[in-house]
Structure 1
Amino acid sequence: MNKIDNAIQLVEDGNIEQGLELLEQLQNSSTNDELYVIAQHYFKWGFVEKSKEIVQQLLYIYPDEGELYVLLAEIMIDMDEEEEAISLLDQIAEDDPAYIEALVLQADLFQMQGLVEVSEQKLLRAKEMSDHDQIIDFALAELYSSNGEFYKSIPYYMEILQESEQIAGVLVSARLAESLSATGKFEEALPYFEAAISKQEDSHTLFGFGVTAYQAEYYSKAIEVFSKLKDLDPDYTSLYFYLAEAYEKEGLLDESLQVLQQGIQVDSLNKELHFKAAMISLKCGHRDRVEQYLREAVGIDPGYVEATLQLSNFLLNEERYDDVVECLEAVMGYGEFDEQFEWDLAYSKNKLEQFSDALNHYRRAYTFFKESPEFLEEFGYFLLEDGKKTEAIDVFKKLLVINPSKYEIEELLEDLA
Structure 2
Amino acid sequence: MKYSQELLDAIENHDFSETNILLKKALDNDEPEALASLAENLTDLGFSDLAKEVYRALIAKFPHEDIFKVYLAEILLNDGQEDDGLTLLYGVSKESDAYVESLLAQADYYQTNGLIEAAKQKLLEAQNNAPDQEAILFGLAELDYMSGNFEEALKNYRKLFETTKTFGEVVISQRIAACLAQIGDYEEASKIIKKNSTDLLTIDAQYEAGLIMLANGDNKEAIKFLDQVIETQPDYVNAYPLLARAYANENNNEEVLQAAQTGLSYNEFDETLYSLGARAAANLNDKEQAEKLLKKGLKVAPDNSDLRLQLSNLYLHENKDLENLKLFEDLEDDQIEPQAHWNMALSYQRLEKYDKAKSEFLLAYPSFQNNPDFLKQMLTFFREIADNNTTKALLEKYLQLVPEDSEMQALYDDLSMEK
Q: What is the distance in 1 between the residues matched to 2:72 and 2:377?
A: 78
Partner of 2:347: 348
What does the per-residue CA deviation read over 1:351-392, in whole Å, with 9 as the maximum and x for residues that have no partner?
3344444444344334433444554555566567668x6xx7
| Aligned with residue 415 of structure 1, among 400, 405, 418 | 418
| Offset at residue 238 of structure 1 (A) | 2.7
Q: What is the distance in 1 between the residues matched to 2:17 and 2:399?
A: 92
| Offset at residue 181 of structure 1 (A) | 4.4
Stretch deviating more after TM superposition (182-191 or 247-256): 247-256
Amino acid at match of 1:415: E
Name the CA shift for 1:288/1:136 in 2 (closer, same or farther; >3 Å): same
Are the equivalent residues in 2 in contact too, given 1:140–1:156 (CA < 8 A)? Answer: yes
| Offset at residue 233 of structure 1 (A) | 1.6
| Aligned with residue 189 of structure 1, among 189, 192, 217 | 192
Partner of 1:235: 235
Partner of 1:70: 70
> 1:15-94 to 2 correspondence within 5 Å?
15-18=14-17, 20-26=19-25, 29=28, 40=40, 42-49=42-49, 51=51, 66-80=66-80, 85-86=85-86, 88-94=88-94
Q: What is the distance in 1 between the residues matched to 2:193 and 2:266?
A: 28
1:328 counterpart SS class: coil
Stretch deviating more after TM superposition (239-248 or 92-101): 239-248
Name the CA shift for 1:63/1:410 in 2 (closer, same or farther; >3 Å): farther
Amino acid at match of 2:258: Q
Q: What is the distance in 1 between the residues matched to 2:384 and 2:395?
A: 17
The TM-score with structure 2 as length reference comes to 0.80
| Offset at residue 62 of structure 1 (A) | 7.6
Q: What is the distance in 1 between the residues matched to 2:288 and 2:120?
A: 57
Mapped pair 1:397 → 2:393: yes
Partner of 1:135: 135
Q: What is the distance in 2 between the residues matched to 1:266 and 1:259?
A: 11
Name the CA shift for 1:68/1:186 in 2 (closer, same or farther; >3 Å): closer
Q: What is the distance in 2 between the residues matched to 1:52 and 1:2?
A: 19
Q: What is the distance in 2 between the residues matched to 1:82 and 1:396?
A: 81
Partner of 2:145: 145
Name the CA shift for 1:343/1:47 in 2 (closer, same or farther; >3 Å): same
| Offset at residue 100 of structure 1 (A) | 0.9
Are the equivalent residues in 2 in contact too, given 1:111–1:119 (CA < 8 A)? Answer: yes
| Offset at residue 101 of structure 1 (A) | 1.4
Partner of 1:122: 122
Q: What is the distance in 2 between the residues matched to 1:317 and 1:17?
A: 75
Are the equivalent residues in 2 in contact too, given 1:373–1:399 (CA < 8 A)? Answer: no
> 1:247-326 to 2 correspondence within 5 Å?
247-326=247-326
Stretch deviating more after TM superposition (224-233 or 78-87): 78-87
Are the equivalent residues in 1 in contact too, given 2:3–2:30 (CA < 8 A)? Answer: no
Partner of 1:106: 106
| Offset at residue 324 of structure 1 (A) | 0.6
Q: What is the distance in 2 between the residues matched to 1:342 and 1:248?
A: 28
| Offset at residue 320 of structure 1 (A) | 1.0
Q: What is the distance in 2 between the residues matched to 1:403 and 1:80?
A: 76
Name the CA shift for 1:397/1:113 in 2 (closer, same or farther; >3 Å): farther
> 1:381-396 to 2 correspondence within 5 Å?
382=381, 393=389, 396=392
| Offset at residue 123 of structure 1 (A) | 1.6
Stretch deviating more after TM superposition (158-167 or 91-100): 158-167
Over the matched positions of the two proteins, sequence identity in percent amounts to 24
Q: What is the distance in 2 between the residues matched to 1:223 and 1:121?
A: 42
Name the CA shift for 1:410/1:56 in 2 (closer, same or farther; >3 Å): farther
What does the per-residue CA deviation read over 1:166-200, in whole Å, with 9 as the maximum and x for residues that have no partner?
33243334434444444422342133442304xxx
Name the CA shift for 1:81/1:24 in 2 (closer, same or farther; >3 Å): closer
Amino acid at match of 2:189: F
The TM-score with structure 1 as length reference comes to 0.80
1:17 counterpart SS class: coil
Are the equivalent residues in 1 in contact too, given 2:379–2:394 (CA < 8 A)? Answer: no
Amino acid at match of 2:162: Q
Are the equivalent residues in 2 in contact too, given 1:73–1:88 (CA < 8 A)? Answer: yes
| Offset at residue 313 of structure 1 (A) | 1.1
Q: What is the distance in 2 between the residues matched to 1:82 and 1:335?
A: 55
Aligned residues between the structures: 408
Amino acid at match of 1:196: D
Are the equivalent residues in 2 in contact too, given 1:8–1:19 (CA < 8 A)? Answer: no
Are the equivalent residues in 1 in contact too, given 2:294–2:307 (CA < 8 A)? Answer: yes
Partner of 1:327: 327
Are the equivalent residues in 2 in contact too, given 1:9–1:19 (CA < 8 A)? Answer: no
Amino acid at match of 1:102: S
Stretch deviating more after TM superposition (337-346 or 15-24): 15-24
Name the CA shift for 1:202/1:28 in 2 (closer, same or farther; >3 Å): closer
Are the equivalent residues in 2 in contact too, given 1:274–1:297 (CA < 8 A)? Answer: yes
Q: What is the distance in 2 between the residues matched to 1:275 and 1:81?
A: 53
Amino acid at match of 2:8: I
Mapped pair 1:202 → 2:205: no
Mapped pair 1:364 → 2:363: yes
2:327 counterpart SS class: helix
Task: Name the Cα RMSD after superposition.
Answer: 3.7
Are the equivalent residues in 2 in contact too, given 1:247–1:255 (CA < 8 A)? Answer: yes
Are the equivalent residues in 1 in contact too, given 2:72–2:85 (CA < 8 A)? Answer: yes
Where in structure 2 are there 5+ consecutive unaligned residues?
none
What does the per-residue CA deviation read over 1:99-123, in whole Å, with 9 as the maximum and x for residues that have no partner?
2112222222333343333322322
Name the CA shift for 1:413/1:117 in 2 (closer, same or farther; >3 Å): farther
Name the CA shift for 1:378/1:345 in 2 (closer, same or farther; >3 Å): same
